[in-house]
Amino acid sequence: MRFRLATWNINSVRLRLDLVERFVKTFKPDVLCLQEIKCVDESFPELALRALGFEHLAVAGQKGYHGVATLSRIPFSGIERRDICGRGHARHLSVTLAHPGRNKKPLLLHNLYVPAGGDVPDPALNEKFRHKLDFLDAMAGWFGHMRAKASNRMILVGDLNVAPLETDVWSHKQLLKVVSHTPVEVEALARVQASHDWVDVMRRHVPKEEKLFTWWSYRNRDWRVSNRGRRLDHIWTTPALEGAAVSMTVADATRDWPRPSDHVPVIADFEIGDP
């Protein structure tokens, strides 16, 4: 099976529906995972997105905040919305792509939106930061207790709100005490990655020595000139899918579109054979 997968923190799907339509027509993803859709399920623009060719939709919405959605041209089943941390937030959605036949291992796609964590990187002073760390710990525990790490076929995408490498931020030294790149967050994300031996697809295609960003603040008047970015959006696979992502692209042109999200889409082309 060959397909193109994209992940994008859209920062309100209704406000930026025109950008979603433009992106789909330009880059032609087969599966599009959105985060921070900022609407309840009933307000999700289902008809407009189905008109773009996404016959299969799964939504975990929440009024005014959070929310994730998975849109697909490929049939899927087994929809799960997991309330990670038990706070009633819509931050996770998983589906099984192309429902497997007999004796075939499923291909599970996780769409995640990790809490941003507020501004103060101290869990004792900032409940939002405490929540973020708890959320990452819960993810590590969940994936760590899954069996068959070597053979599970899973893809994890989304806004993980952590830039783990020194080259994932515009200035490692200046951002060490800034939420998204603090050592405690980087260590927590590393535990999540190690919990199921996740493979960082983006860094399989761009060497760790090179700068790689997916987010630029709205505060920058000319984001390309200042280039003060961070890599907050990720695509991971389990070891069973090592090498299945044959290409990866950060669609940073979308940051120049009218009324853009502060995040840009990440795209990966997959070629996955039968297990």
Q: Which of 11-20, 59-68, 101-110, 154-163 has the lowest mean pLDDT?
A: 101-110
Query: So what's the pLDDT on residue 164?
Result: 98
Q: What is the mean pLDDT of residues 114-139?
A: 98
Q: What is the mean pLDDT of residues 258-262?
A: 97
Q: What is the mean pLDDT of the chain?
A: 96
pLDDT of 180-210, one tens digit each? 999 999 999 999 999 999 999 999 999 999 9
Q: Which of 56-65, 116-125, 191-200 has the lowest mean pLDDT?
A: 56-65
Is a pLDDT exceeding 90 seen at residue 8? Answer: yes
Q: What is the mean pLDDT of residues 162-189?
A: 98
Q: What is the mean pLDDT of residues 84-93?
A: 95
Q: How far apart (Å, rounded) are the C-alpha atoms in residues 7 and 39?
A: 18
Is a pLDDT exceeding 90 seen at residue 16? Answer: yes
Q: At what angle do helices 183-195 and 127-144 cross, to 10 degrees?
A: 20
Distance of CA 169 to the CA centre of its chain: 17
Is a pLDDT exceeding 80 seen at residue 275? Answer: no
Which residue is it, tokens 């200035």? Answer: 171
Q: How many other C-beta atoms can be found within 10 angstroms of the C-beta atom of residue 273?
A: 7
Q: What is the mean pLDDT of residues 158-162?
A: 98
Superfamily of domain 2-271: Endonuclease/exonuclease/phosphatase (3.60.10.10)
Which residue is it, tokens 């792509």? Answer: 97
Q: In sequence order, which residues have a C-beta less than 8 Å from that of residue 63 and are 6 or more positions away?
A: 39, 40
- 245-249 CB contacts, 8 Å cutoff, 24+ apart: 245/201, 245/204, 245/205, 245/269, 245/270, 246/270, 246/271, 247/205, 248/201, 248/202, 248/204, 248/205, 248/206
Is a pLDDT exceeding 70 seen at residue 99? Answer: no
Q: How far apart (Å, rounded) are the C-alpha atoms in residues 40 and 193?
A: 30
User: What's the token pair of residue 53?
Assistant: 């060719």
Q: Provide, rounded to the nearest whole percent, the portion of the chain with pLDDT above 90.
A: 92
Is a pLDDT exceeding 80 seen at residue 101? Answer: no
Q: In sequence order, which residues have a C-beta less than 8 Å from that of residue 13 and are 6 or more positions away?
A: 20, 34, 37, 38, 39, 44, 45, 69
Q: How far apart (Å, rounded) are the C-alpha atoms in residues 65 and 104?
A: 37
Query: So what's the pLDDT on residue 102?
Result: 55
List, in sequence order, the alpha helices (H) in 1-150: 17-27, 46-50, 127-144
